[in-house]
Amino acid sequence: MIERKCVGCGKITDRKDLIKITRDAHCDVFVNPDSRIFGRSVYLCYNDRCIEAAFKKNKISKGLKTPVPQELKGKLLNEF
């Protein structure tokens, strides 16, 4: 079991129970559900509170060390 920390709430849980967001070598940001894209990653719980908290405090951008487009927030809220 591989554990990761949610950047929204700080809870440590199994990696398969989190949304993986990855920045690749070209500084493009992706939702990476199957872990096929390698690069710097952050994880979020599958709930709106964590997604909102991560964007409000800019934790995704800080974790990925690159600006994150706002449309990613809408995509995450709609899909999960």
Question: 29: domain CATH number?
Answer: 3.30.1230.10
Length of the chain: 80
* Number of domains into which the chain is organized: 1
Res 10 pLDDT > 90:
yes
For 23-76, what is each residue's pLDDT tens digit? 998 888 989 888 888 899 999 999 999 999 999 999 999 999 999 988 888 888
Record the pTM: 0.90
Q: Which residues contact 31 (CB under 8 A, 6 or more apart)?
A: 19, 20, 21, 72, 75, 76, 79
Tokens describing residue 47: 């709930």
Tokens describing residue 50: 């964590």
Range of the domain at 45: 3-79
